[in-house]
């Protein structure tokens, strides 16, 4: 991955930040993208202080013109993008029948439309070069029903199928499109779901009243666990893998 250019959305924290660091540690030049300028700047400053080749780009992934502009700027500054990681995501909790219009539209705008807009902007530049790899960070909730997560699960399911369809269409150009589906991962998003100090224990042991099994491996994933899976799918070790959905959840979805 040395000297190759990667673009990562949601890079200010959590899984996106872990992926950004992992790519840079392997020699990639990384365009770290997020809508939160303050948190993005702080994250990138830490990485560059460690000698990593990372540059911050503020972007609203829900805005088509903003996306096209930022991808163009990233390529002018860093070079042709060879890797894209769609890691930006939002979570709105609530019973399906109680979700507001804004809950639904905001969730899909980032988690599904954002993946579409960013992937389109990047892949249209990859096709003439006949090379590239894309990984979308989805969720095990895309294939497993969860209480109070209808908007999130549906948006991740949409992003999952979009990425697979895209992978089918661009395979003839040597471009691979895959997914990583995390389960409970120790990130700010997961912590926002916890009401008290029992959050980790509940995630590991499960909640029968919510029809949710626990984690057979008896631990939460770390962002670096997800980053490792993302890097594998981007790497030459996965050169014959496309349209694949790699679940990284400690067995929480029981291998289904």
- What are the residue ranges spanned by the domains of the chain? 5-185+222-248
Token output for 151:
């908007």
216/194 Cα distance (integer angstroms): 20
Catalytic choice (144, 152, 231, 242)? 152
Model confidence, pTM? 0.96
Q: What is the pLDDT along the chain (256 residues), one digit of tens a residue?
A: 999 999 999 999 999 999 999 999 999 999 999 999 999 999 999 999 999 999 999 999 999 999 999 999 999 999 999 999 999 999 999 999 999 999 999 999 999 999 999 999 999 999 999 999 999 999 999 999 999 999 999 999 999 999 999 999 999 999 999 999 999 999 988 888 887 778 888 889 998 998 989 999 999 999 999 999 999 999 999 999 999 999 999 999 999 8
36/59 Cα distance (integer angstroms): 8
- 173 in catalytic set: no
Token output for 195:
């009401």
3-state secondary structure of 143: coil
Tell me the CATH architecture of domain 5-185+222-248. Answer: 3-Layer(aba) Sandwich (3.40)
Token output for 8:
């990562």
């Amino acid at each position: 991955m040395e000297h190759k250019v990667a673009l990562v959305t949601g890079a200010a924290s959590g899984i996106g930040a872990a992926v950004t660091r992992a790519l840079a540690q392997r020699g990639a030049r990384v365009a770290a993208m997020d809508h939160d300028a303050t948190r993005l700047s702080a994250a990138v400053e830490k990485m560059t202080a460690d000698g990593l080749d990372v540059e911050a780009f503020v972007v609203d992934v829900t805005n088509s013109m903003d996306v096209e502009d930022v991808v163009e700027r990233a390529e002018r500054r860093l070079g042709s993008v060879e890797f894209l990681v769609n890691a930006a995501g939002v979570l709105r909790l609530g019973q399906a029948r109680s979700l507001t219009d804004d809950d639904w539209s905001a969730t899909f705008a980032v988690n599904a439309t954002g993946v579409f807009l960013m992937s389109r902007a990047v892949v249209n530049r990859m096709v003439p070069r006949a090379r590239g790899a894309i990984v979308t960070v989805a969720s095990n909730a895309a294939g497993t029903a969860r209480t109070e997560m209808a908007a999130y699960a549906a948006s991740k399911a949409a992003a999952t199928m979009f990425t697979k369809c895209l992978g089918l269409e661009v395979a003839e150009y040597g471009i691979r499109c895959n997914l990583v589906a995390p389960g409970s991962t120790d990130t700010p998003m997961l912590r926002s779901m916890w009401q008290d100090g029992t959050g980790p224990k509940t995630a590991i042991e499960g909640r029968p009243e919510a029809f949710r099994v626990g984690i057979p491996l008896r631990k939460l994933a770390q962002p670096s666990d997800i980053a490792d899976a993302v890097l594998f799918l981007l790497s030459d070790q996965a050169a014959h893998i496309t349209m694949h959905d790699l679940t990284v959840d400690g067995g929480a979805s029981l291998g289904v």
